[in-house]
Homo-oligomer: A and B are copies of this chain.
């Protein structure tokens, strides 16, 4: 009987076609018009899990996009909940893509497609690893519970309630989140902190209809100006968030934190090169890495109002909109942050203007895991074998809302473990995943399962 390593090697070509197939389905969870595509992706995943040998696979349909669950309980083996998501971010601005986002294209050893790095390749790699054990060993070396959602990119609005209602079935020793990555091709890393998330849309209305700027622009509020002044009020001139109470619950960085962050960030790709940004910006008194890893932020994700077409229109617009999200750190509470945002708008908006603050349904609590956690140490061992060096321990500016839920409801810590490379542009045009990291990820998953099962 062959081992899992041989099995992986034999299937590499066939499985390459599979990831391309999965990337072709435009599972954009925020777009109501893609609802059927999101559902088709769930079907695809469920069918693939069954084919890999997972004995209990279910598509759970609820208020939002479907959840794909699976169970493979191996007696006397630790229970590992594998968390992932099969939905993807929107693709705008489309004109910046060098190849269409849902026509995966290989250039320079990278697969370019929306969802490649975040996180369809990582998700499929888990399934392939399970199949390798199923077909060589008859079963995986640990008990596996799968939880693949279709709403991570909209903030997982329905999963917390599902976890709450199914906590017996989901009971586990720890969680492995495949929604992650490593710091560089030669720099293994493990995420020990994730930011929380809260946000809202602010709809501003200054009158019943758009107005002629010559007739009325001198006399009545311009919705764009009201929106711009409000949007600008969220930060001080130096880049500090200016929302009252925003920092009240933030746990200050210790000297140890600062050293750890400095060590980790020293090995990362320079930010300007990696991000494509032209300049640095942000809260004074902290290094860029400290801000990204461990300080809360506020982003104006969208702003729009008035005439945005070609040419000129002398309009005084009556309506404008702002989309805001905040990334949070321990111990900020996302629900409280939404209340602070509401209070900020009420305080700063021009008097007499009508407005509505609509909280985003998806929120996330910030998350931390201790560096000496037993499952994290196994993950570190697997990475060290594969990369030939010890991993660095980083915190992520990103959010995986469920990590905090798993901690609270299941009492289980989450190890983030996957092979997407920093700089691969999740959420941006021309997102990519390296072809060679498909094989690396499959080996990585098999080794992690073995070590966790010991």
A323 engages B307 (CB within 8 Å): yes
- Chain B residues in 8 Å Cβ range of A70: none
Residue from A272, A283, A307, A426 having most chain B Cβ neighbours under 10 A: A307
Q: Mark A290-310, 1 if CB is under 8 A from B, else 0.
A: 011001010111111111111
A396 engages B325 (CB within 8 Å): no
Beta-carbon nearest neighbor of A316 in chain B: B299
Q: Mark A34-61, 1 if CB is under 8 A from B, else 0.
A: 0000000000000000000000000000
Copies in the complex: 2
With A306-B323, A327-B217: A209-B281 Cβ-Cβ less than 8 Å: no
Q: Answer whether residue A441 sits at the interface, using C-beta atoms and an 8 A cutoff.
A: no
A221 engages B281 (CB within 8 Å): yes
* Stretch of A136-144, A330-338, A346-354, A380-388 on the interface side: A346-354
Beta-carbon nearest neighbor of A283 in chain B: B218
Q: Answer whether residue A251 sits at the interface, using C-beta atoms and an 8 A cutoff.
A: no
Beta-carbon nearest neighbor of A314 in chain B: B325
A299 engages B213 (CB within 8 Å): yes
B301 engages A397 (CB within 8 Å): no
Minimal beta-carbon separation of A239 from chain B (angstroms): 9
- Chain B residues in 8 Å Cβ range of A316: 299, 301
**23 A-B Cβ contacts within 8 A?**
A31-B310, A154-B311, A197-B314, A212-B425, A214-B398, A215-B397, A215-B426, A218-B327, A219-B275, A219-B282, A220-B282, A222-B299, A224-B299, A227-B228, A228-B232, A228-B303, A301-B312, A301-B316, A302-B305, A302-B315, A306-B323, A307-B323, A312-B360
What 3 A-B pairs come out closest when comparing CB atoms? Answer: A279-B352, A214-B398, A208-B276
